[in-house]
Copies of this chain bind each other. A is one copy, B any other.
Amino acid sequence: MVRVGIIGAGSMAWSMVLIKDLCLTKSLRGSTVAFMDVDKRRLDAVHGLAKRYAKEVKAKLRFEKTTDRKEALKNADFVFNTALAGGHPSYETQRSVGEKHGYYRGIDSVDHNMVSDYPTIGGYNQLRLALEIARDMEDLCPDAWLIQTANPLFEICNLLTRQTKLKVIGLCHGHFGYRKVVKTLGLNAKHVKAESIGFNHCIWMTTFKHNSESAYPLLDEWVKTKAHKYWKNWNPKYYEADMSPAAVDMYRRFGLFPIGDTPRSGGWKYHADLATKKRWYGPLGGFDSEIGWGKYQADLKKQCGKMLKLHDDPSLSVTREFPPVKSGEQHIPVVDAIANDQETMFQVNVPNNGAVDDIPDDVVVEVPALVSRNGVRRLSVGRLPKRLMLYAIVPRMLRMEWALEAFLEGNREKLIEWLLNDPRTKSAKQAEDTVREILKLPFNKQMAAHYS
């Protein structure tokens, strides 16, 4: 029996995953969930659907709703932060300002972080919101676990673990992407052991075994003999980058196979323009092209509409729309492992503290770890290949440090400095003009004051 606060509960599809898994986890029955969002309509819908879902599957759970963050946090045992400050539209507006000044897909699209809703240097509002939530937690539920879900997960987890005393775990599902590799190679998943290590959205398959033997030779064989055919009439969904030419090229360049959201990034080699993206990610240009991202945004909207409709018609069955099968996501199982002290292995984002060699202790890594009431027990995973460290891990880490320093220190020069290091910057003036216009956006008022 725990009390869970969900901040940003209006991201409806995601809330339904949490609700469903909670309803289907018997050991958490009797718990209370407090939904919080600033969007009242969506909040009502999530709350209503949660109640109906619990009733349909006969799960005894209490649901509260509030637009007051503090109310949702008070006395919480677990807090999920799934909130995107300002929602997608403001980031799309900000992206378009970047594009106007020559930054295709916006100023936050950079080497090893091309994911379109993962704002770092431009994510002031999002970082500030995350820090404000954490500060409220320090007041209202200092012993609670913060399960960070919203992006930029890497930057936010680093920010919160350094700036607060909270217990923070970042969760993402990208590491499950190894299953796509397994499936494509035609292996039986039951006989496969895989581990992927690195930073969120920048994880690399350090262990890939089939029947206790390295399965990398099987992957090499596939690349050599089957990949070409596989890609011939390839027409992937926008979110399918797992076995893309980009993923295989990144494997060749960096020495380990990139997993989950990792192959969405890489470098400008794959992302210079739409034509380039299409060459590496298929006809849609991948998740983060204007086409792929447009489809994703449309899907989100459609899903939201469907759920609002479901809410409006109490005669419909919610379980019919969301069958009572566990999602496979780690979020509720992590709560269960901690609340009921069932030590379980999860893929978590936590400060390194020696888990990965040659990465500072205070940098958050994404690694497998054992989680229980006592907290997170890291497994020592050794050293990543030098090539990967030099060309992916350290550059990505440096970007995080740049973004955090800018956020913590203020000063407009930091934003300009970021852009001076961007290969798309042709002149100091371009960088300055871009920053000036972004800081003039109406939803960036506080950001402008901070970076004065």
Seen from chain A, the residues whose Cβ lies within 8 Å of a Cβ on chain B are: 111, 252-253, 267-269, 272, 386-387, 390-391, 394-395, 398, 401-402, 405, 413, 417, 420-428
A398 touches B405 (CB 8 A): no
Rounded to whole Å, the gap between the CB of A148 and the closest CB of chain B is 23
Rounded to whole Å, the gap between the CB of A417 and the closest CB of chain B is 6
Known contacts A272-B427, A398-B395, A420-B267: A390-B413 contact under CB 8 Å: no
Chain B residues with CB below 8 A from A269, complex form: 420, 428
- What are 9 A-B interface contacts by the 8 Å CB criterion? A253-B417, A267-B420, A267-B421, A268-B420, A269-B428, A390-B405, A395-B398, A398-B398, A423-B425
Inter-chain CA distance A257–B333, complex, in Å, is 53
B253 touches A413 (CB 8 A): yes
Rounded to whole Å, the gap between the CB of A386 and the closest CB of chain B is 6
Rounded to whole Å, the gap between the CB of A392 and the closest CB of chain B is 10
A405 touches B386 (CB 8 A): yes
Inter-chain CA distance A413–B253, complex, in Å, is 7
B391 touches A421 (CB 8 A): yes
Residue of B nearest to A428 (CB): B269
| Cβ-neighbour of A387 out of B111, B405, B421 (below 8 A) | B405
Chain B residues with CB below 8 A from A413, complex form: 252-253
Rounded to whole Å, the gap between the CB of A422 and the closest CB of chain B is 8
Rounded to whole Å, the gap between the CB of A155 and the closest CB of chain B is 14
What 3 A-B pairs are tightest by C-beta distance, nearest first?
A: A423-B423, A269-B428, A390-B401
Chain B residues with CB below 8 A from A268, complex form: 420, 425
Inter-chain CA distance A268–B424, complex, in Å, is 12
Residue of B nearest to A416 (CB): B253
Chain B residues with CB below 8 A from A401, complex form: 390
Chain B residues with CB below 8 A from A387, complex form: 405
Inter-chain CA distance A390–B400, complex, in Å, is 10
Residue of B nearest to A270 (CB): B428
Chain B residues with CB below 8 A from A252, complex form: 413
| Cβ-neighbour of A426 out of B111, B272, B427 (below 8 A) | B272
Rounded to whole Å, the gap between the CB of A60 and the closest CB of chain B is 51
A272-B426, A390-B398, A422-B423 provided; 15 other pairs, C-beta below 8 A?
A253-B413, A253-B417, A267-B421, A268-B420, A269-B428, A386-B405, A390-B401, A390-B402, A391-B402, A394-B394, A394-B398, A395-B398, A395-B421, A398-B398, A423-B425
Rounded to whole Å, the gap between the CB of A110 and the closest CB of chain B is 12
Chain B residues with CB below 8 A from A427, complex form: 272
